């Protein structure tokens, strides 16, 4: 077990995680990119001050710490991680571990882990979810690394993790990049969940003439029932919040262009590379992208008189439609985990992934607790939406999703994730689809050949090409 812990990067997440670690009784060496940030952090640590030893740089800290050392990096993904590894490595000895606790691309993590492990050094890619509050009070953590590195860090990580009914929300999910991959898919599901709620807000506001605080009240009621989730809970608070400067709902003052740092996009890209459909997550990424082009949207609105009318929907239908869309988007996310696990030889335990996400993380929800139970009962489930526990839930909620999508389309309200979820469901429940025509077209223009229902492959159609 490692007793010497360091943390590099004292931004919002790093500071919060450092305080959490100190709370649990672990002494922590700390450093940041700017030495004055470290001084400031230690000087303002209050009662925790004796728990921290500040250092002027990552290299200084690594050199000064007694071994074996485990250093958690909480710095922006990308080149900063490679730079930091280069600074720490000359001072590392076998048995030491560097932990990347940011949102890194799992391909980078695989590369870095393999390079350090080849030199006898430990490297862990750890997905951390829960934002600042999670980091401070207990995040969900998805660990990628060797068994031996996990064993040495496990007691500390279990101590700082979120707790779900006595179970810490942290585990080793696989080697090298597996932890960051699972976190990436978590974020993809997060994007879809967030967008589904934004779509619902749009329908209620523009199609049901409700004010943000009224919508917030409905969200708060939903949070007491089947839709209970952290994102519904905080959305209710955001919707109800009033801007002190203008006395208007704060949402009326927030520019409607959404940022993204990459994880949702990576989820969609990896799904495509692995031949898995993550169409709901793609739609959520796409919606953020078009949100980021306000000038074009203004031009569009001036050019076309799209009638955005009232929708004949009630909030009970919306509640059911949200649940159906969430089951389908979670199904796509878990399907991606399952395929990636096979492709990369990770043996991901999907039940463990779902269990880790039951508390501490951004997508924690009552549905996720049910999904964890589903994978515990049937670990080999490949299509979550078809699992015995999910089928009756979908049967009950699907009619509402269909009505919501139809009404929204008729009334001119964009709901891309709910639409994508329904299209995927309709496609995946149609034993004979329409790709026979795609195959015919491909053979017509490129002699690609097709399989025939009465046997054989490589057939060509009766056309001259």
Catalytic (active-site) positions? 183, 190
**And the tokens for 43?**
């000087």
Gap between the Cα atoms of 450 and 315, Å rounded: 47
Of the candidates 9, 204, 16, 165, the residue with the CA atom closest to the CA atom of residue 99: 9
Site size toward ligand 6PG, by CB under 6 A: 13
Is the peptide bond preceding residue 132 cis, with omega within 30 degrees of 0? no
Q: Applying CB under 6 A, which of residues 27, 34, 248, 261 lies at the interface with ligand 6PG?
A: 261
**And the tokens for 261?**
């740092």
105 is an interface residue for ligand 6PG by CB under 6 A: no
The region, left, alpha or beta by phi > 0 then psi within -120 to 50, assigned to residue 42 is: alpha
For residue 5, the surrounding DSSP H or E stretch is strand 4-8
Q: Cβ of residue 130: shortest distance to ligand 6PG, in angstroms?
A: 5
To the question of whether residue 261 is assigned a binding role by annotation, the answer is: yes
Cα distances (Å, whole numbers) of residue 270 to 29, 144, 188, 226, 264: 36, 18, 11, 31, 10
Near ligand 6PG in 429-458, by CB under 6 A: none
To the question of whether residue 9 is assigned a binding role by annotation, the answer is: no
Q: Applying CB under 6 A, which of residues 62, 84, 103, 280 lies at the interface with ligand 6PG?
A: 103
To the question of whether residue 180 is assigned a binding role by annotation, the answer is: no
Q: Which is nearer to ligand 6PG, 139 or 174 (CB)?
A: 139
365 is an interface residue for ligand 6PG by CB under 6 A: no
Q: Cβ of residue 433: shortest distance to ligand 6PG, in angstroms?
A: 33
**And the tokens for 240?**
């109800």
What strands, in cross-sheet order, belong to the sheet with 170-174? Answer: 52-54, 28-31, 4-8, 69-73, 97-100, 122-129, 140-144, 170-174
**And the tokens for 21?**
């670690």
14 is an interface residue for ligand 6PG by CB under 6 A: no
| Stretch of residues binding ligand 6PG (CB under 6 A), selected from 90-98, 254-262, 369-377, 404-412 | 254-262
Q: Cβ of residue 263: shortest distance to ligand 6PG, in angstroms?
A: 5
The torsion of the CA quartet 394, 398, 404, 405, rounded to 10 degrees, works out to 100
Q: Applying CB under 6 A, which of residues 20, 187, 280, 397 lies at the interface with ligand 6PG?
A: 187
Gap between the Cα atoms of 181 and 63, Å rounded: 31
For residue 70, the surrounding DSSP H or E stretch is strand 69-73
Q: Cβ of residue 311: shortest distance to ligand 6PG, in angstroms?
A: 28
To the question of whether residue 186 is assigned a binding role by annotation, the answer is: yes
CB 218 within 8 A of CB 200: no
Q: Cβ of residue 249: shortest distance to ligand 6PG, in angstroms?
A: 22
| Stretch of residues binding ligand 6PG (CB under 6 A), selected from 253-261, 328-336, 374-382, 455-463 | 253-261
| Three-point CA angle 358, 177, 142, nearest 5° | 20
Q: Cβ of residue 281: shortest distance to ligand 6PG, in angstroms?
A: 12
318 is an interface residue for ligand 6PG by CB under 6 A: no
211 is an interface residue for ligand 6PG by CB under 6 A: no
CB 98 within 8 A of CB 73: yes
Please identify the residue of the shown chain whose CB is closest to the bound ligand 6PG. Answer: 129
104 is an interface residue for ligand 6PG by CB under 6 A: no
259 is an interface residue for ligand 6PG by CB under 6 A: yes
131 is an interface residue for ligand 6PG by CB under 6 A: yes
361 is an interface residue for ligand 6PG by CB under 6 A: yes
Q: What are phi and psi of 276, to 5 degrees?
A: -115, 145
To the question of whether residue 188 is assigned a binding role by annotation, the answer is: no
Residues at the site binding ligand 6PG, with contacts judged by CB under 6 A: 103, 129-131, 187, 190, 259-261, 263-264, 361-362
Q: Which residues define the annotated binding site?
A: 103, 129-131, 186-187, 191, 261, 288, 442, 448
């Amino acid at each position: 077990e490692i007793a010497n812990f360091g943390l590099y990067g004292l931004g919002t997440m790093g500071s919060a995680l450092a305080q959490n670690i100190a709370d649990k009784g672990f002494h922590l060496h700390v450093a940041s990119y700017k030495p004055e940030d470290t001084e400031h952090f230690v000087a303002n640590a209050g009662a925790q001050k004796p728990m921290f030893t500040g250092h002027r740089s990552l290299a200084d800290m690594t050199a000064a710490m007694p071994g074996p050392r485990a250093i958690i990096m909480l710095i922006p993904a990308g080149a900063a991680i490679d730079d930091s590894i280069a600074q720490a490595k000359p001072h590392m000895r076998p048995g030491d571990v560097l932990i990347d606790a940011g949102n890194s691309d799992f391909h980078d993590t695989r590369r870095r882990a393999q390079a350090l492990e080849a030199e006898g050094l430990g490297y862990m890619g750890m997905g951390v979810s829960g934002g600042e509050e999670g980091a401070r009070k207990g995040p969900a953590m998805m660990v990628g690394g060797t068994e031996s590195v996990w064993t040495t860090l496990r007691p500390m990580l279990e101590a700082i993790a979120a707790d779900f009914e006595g179970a810490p929300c942290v585990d080793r999910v696989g080697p090298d990049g597996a932890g960051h991959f699972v976190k990436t898919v978590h974020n993809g599901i997060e994007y879809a969940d967030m967008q589904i709620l934004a779509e619902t807000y749009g329908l209620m506001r523009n199609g049901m003439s409700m004010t943000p605080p009224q919508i917030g009240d409905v969200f708060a009621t939903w949070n007491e029932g089947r839709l209970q989730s952290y994102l519904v809970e905080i959305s209710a608070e955001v919707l109800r919040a009033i801007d002190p400067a203008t006395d208007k709902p704060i949402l009326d003052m927030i520019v409607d262009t959404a940022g993204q740092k990459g994880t949702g996009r990576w989820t969609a890209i990896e799904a495509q590379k692995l031949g898995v459909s993550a169409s709901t997550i793609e739609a959520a990424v796409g919606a953020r992208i078009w949100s980021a082009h306000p000038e074009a949207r203004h031009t569009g609105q001036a050019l076309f008189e799209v009638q955005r009318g009232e929708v004949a929907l009630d909030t009970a239908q919306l509640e059911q439609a949200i649940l159906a869309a969430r089951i389908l988007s979670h199904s796509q996310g878990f399907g991606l985990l399952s395929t990636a696990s096979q492709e990369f030889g990770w043996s991901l335990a999907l039940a463990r992934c779902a269990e880790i996400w039951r508390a501490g993380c951004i997508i924690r929800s009552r549905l996720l607790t049910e999904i964890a139970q589903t994978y515990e009962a049937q670990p080999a489930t490949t299509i979550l939406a078809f699992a015995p526990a999910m089928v009756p839930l979908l049967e009950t909620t699907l009619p509402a999703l269909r009505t919501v999508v139809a009404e929204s389309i008729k009334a001119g309200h964009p709901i891309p994730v709910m639409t994508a979820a329904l299209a995927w469901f309709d496609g995946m429940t149609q034993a004979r689809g329409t790709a026979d025509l795609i195959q015919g077209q491909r053979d017509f223009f490129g002699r690609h050949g097709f399989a025939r229902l009465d046997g054989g492959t490589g057939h060509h159609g009766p056309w001259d090409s």
